[in-house]
Amino acid sequence: MSAQTAFVLHSRPYRESSALVDFFTPEGRLRAVLRGARGKAGTLARPFVPLEVEFRGRGELKNVGRLDSAGQAYWLDGNALFSGMYLNELLIRLLPAEDAHPVMFDHYAASLPALAAKRPLEPILRSFEWRLLTELGYGFALDTDIAGQPIAGAGLYRLLPDTGLEPVGQFQPGLFNGAELLAMAEADWNVPGALAAAKRLMRQALAPHLGGRPLVSRELFMNIKEVPRD
């Protein structure tokens, strides 16, 4: 197999001196054994570093034949680091193995420098979640309801994850107002409440596909936020 641009999503020790590594490439998510992980290759095989990797083997578990740096590492810290971990965990949990998504790969590669540059996190995360849902075939319209009618700015809607947005006649918890949905459709985050509503909407949309298991990165982030500061 020829060399591919890749990022490490996750790595864990494997046998004596190897590592079992989940890579994200334009050809999809690949799992491979990296031998000699305690040497130079192991220092390169870490998240948020652009790599050029040659994979060998025809089975589901590949072997890393060659691994080189393909650019400068993106230094993430604080909330940006937790956000990068969140993106990686979403890809591991939701992307089928060896299912090519080159558009998603490009979006991921563009998200890392945005995180490293300390740009506002919420728009980056919401855009990534929406792109991932769309790429996997789980997306839905934000400007029309399940009957094909335009979203009304003054209307109330609930999400049916398998089909889309359904108009609701009276208020109940968990609803979205039409103005927020239309702002999401245009990625206009200046509309009051749009970002908070987008976060709720993406959680509702992702939940059925995560199989009921909580995201470790999300729980870790919440625990860190709750640690008292002196």
Q: Are residues 8 and 65 in the same domain?
A: yes
Six-digit token string for 17: 């001196």
Q: Are residues 59 and 114 in the same domain?
A: no
Residue 77: what pLDDT?
A: 93
Domain with residue 133: its CATH number is 1.20.1440.120
Q: Are residues 103 and 184 in the same domain?
A: no
- What residues of the chain score a pLDDT lower than 70? 1-2, 40-41, 219-230
Residue 1: what pLDDT?
A: 60
Q: Are residues 62 and 164 in the same domain?
A: no
Number of domains comprising the chain: 3
Domain with residue 8: its CATH number is 2.40.50.140
Residue 60: what pLDDT?
A: 84
Residue 26 has φ and ψ, to the nearest 5°, of -60, -20
Q: Among 104, 65, 85, which Cα is nearest to 11's?
A: 85
Residue 229: what pLDDT?
A: 39
Q: Which amino acid is at 223?
A: N
Residue 216: what pLDDT?
A: 80
Residue 211: what pLDDT?
A: 83
Residue 227: what pLDDT?
A: 38
Residue 161: what pLDDT?
A: 87
Task: Give pTM, 2 decimals.
Answer: 0.89
Residue 168: what pLDDT?
A: 95
Six-digit token string for 180: 């927020």
Domain containing 121 equals 78-138+210-226
Q: For the chain, count helices (H), then strands (E).
A: 7, 8
Q: Using an 8 Å Cβ cutoff, are 66 and 201 in contact? A: no
Whether 149 is covered by a domain: the verdict is no
Residue 228: what pLDDT?
A: 41
Six-digit token string for 85: 């971990």
Q: Are residues 89 and 56 in the same domain?
A: no
Residue 115: what pLDDT?
A: 97
Residue 226: what pLDDT?
A: 44
Six-digit token string for 131: 């792109």
